[in-house]
A and B are shown apart, each in its own frame.
Chain A
């Protein structure tokens, strides 16, 4: 009985630690994701952002 209680207690700690740990890692990763608040941040950035406003011209021109 005692060992069963102990096993159950260990299972409780394990399931809490695993899932809460994963939620914490997810929250940490979300902190640094720009697209969490703004969809446009997910769009791929141009190779040379300083040339993005040069309409029609190739970056090498």
Chain B
């Protein structure tokens, strides 16, 4: 049944794409995030949906679509450079088999991110991409949120649409993605034109935000709680009545405490007492190992280089209570522990150059979105509210991701690159609207060098 529904859905959008080829781009965003081939049980699993929709999206743009308004931006060039560098490090990766497995999905995400801004050349396309992104994450968030309410949660126990422990179906990753999506949901509810603001849109948005907030509770992911705190701080930048918002958020938090599962509260308490927690202690040891590894191997060890790590450390254990409290240390040896941080993931796998490119990609995004926010501020008479609000939403989503990424290895997740691609498109469109068309220095040089040939 699931297979039929999903295949009918994909088939219909593929057909609709013959009238509007851009729909194939949206379809790929959906496939990339939801992975419908994993949700179904039968025929759909044997189809190469990702490949088919990727070819349709790319060919649709190249062959059938107009290129008016498409620009290649600096950040897209950085994505291409990072992709090339990742390819190079994969060739010399320490763990060849695992490295190629990761390369298999990483290159697609990065290549698509370099291409997507070219296709997002009108405002409506941007809005549509944000909408499909939100609804695709929403499919998993609504599922996980409802299962949390009906008692299916727990650390590593919440099964969302697919029973697997990787990508957007892993607890910590989904928690970060779900919270990062909330600013985008709010943007669509306020400025959407495909589903214009109405009581129905706002009701759905509120329910979806609630579902997203439930994901960190259902998965018991500590990263999610940190992301919620960051979201709260970021919202203060945006809301009109800051004190009222802060007060209401505080009241909502206190009111929700009795409803939180005891297991969740216990786990969240370990955020402050991280020294006695093996998971947190391991992280610090892995980070130390990665730093020294990068010093010894400046070009990185290729994807999944963490598999070579091994370290021994003393884990503090607290026994007894009150005055009888005793701290004893036991020696723990860990091997092949994952990075538990995107920054160290990039450093260990892609070395210093890879980290520089990745940070440049992220840093430029923050700056570009801030630049748009600054130009389109409320007091400007000719302000572009749509661009301001979209840049704000994308920037907030990115900041939440960057904070969550401190504790989870999600540097190359496709949803992050889709976010980056949408930022590139916003920047490109905004620049075109504000400053008009101006050829890049490279294009100008090519033009000058070709002039004598033409005449």
**Chain A residues within CB distance 8 Å of chain B:** 4, 7-8, 11-20, 22-24, 26-31, 33, 35-39, 42
Contacts and interface: CB of A to CB of B under 8 A. Distances in A.
Contacts of A42: 122-124
A6 to B, nearest CB: 11
B20 A30 contact: yes
Contacts of A29: 194
A11 to B, nearest CB: 5
Interface in B43-73: 65-66, 68-69
A16 B122 CA distance: 29
B138 to A, nearest CB: 5
B159 A8 contact: yes
A39 B386 CA distance: 14
Q: Report, nearest first, the 10 A-B pairs whose CB atoms are least far apart.
A: A15-B143, A19-B139, A15-B142, A11-B146, A39-B122, A35-B124, A19-B135, A36-B124, A20-B9, A26-B194
Contacts of A11: 143, 146-147, 150
Contacts of A26: 128, 131-132, 135, 194-195
B276 to A, nearest CB: 34
A36 B2 contact: no
Interface in B1-39: 2, 5-6, 9, 12-13, 16, 19-20, 22-23, 26, 30, 39
Best-surrounded residue of B124, B132, B142, B195 (most CB of chain A within 10 A)? B124
30 contacts: A8-B150, A8-B159, A11-B143, A11-B146, A11-B147, A15-B140, A15-B161, A16-B5, A19-B135, A19-B138, A19-B142, A20-B5, A23-B9, A23-B13, A23-B30, A23-B131, A23-B132, A23-B135, A24-B9, A26-B131, A27-B16, A27-B26, A30-B128, A31-B16, A33-B124, A36-B20, A36-B124, A37-B66, A39-B69, A42-B122
A17 B122 CA distance: 29
Contacts of B20: 30-31, 36-37
Nearest to B122: A39
B152 interface: yes
Given A4-B152, A19-B136, 16 more contacts: A11-B150, A12-B143, A12-B161, A15-B161, A22-B195, A23-B131, A23-B132, A23-B136, A24-B9, A24-B12, A24-B13, A30-B128, A36-B122, A37-B122, A38-B68, A38-B122
B139 A36 contact: no
B125 interface: yes
A22 B5 CA distance: 14
Nearest to B195: A26
Interface string B136-180: 101110110011001110000001010000000000000000000
B12 to A, nearest CB: 7
Interface in B106-148: 122-125, 128, 131-132, 135-136, 138-140, 142-143, 146-147
A4 B153 CA distance: 12
Contacts of A12: 2, 143, 161
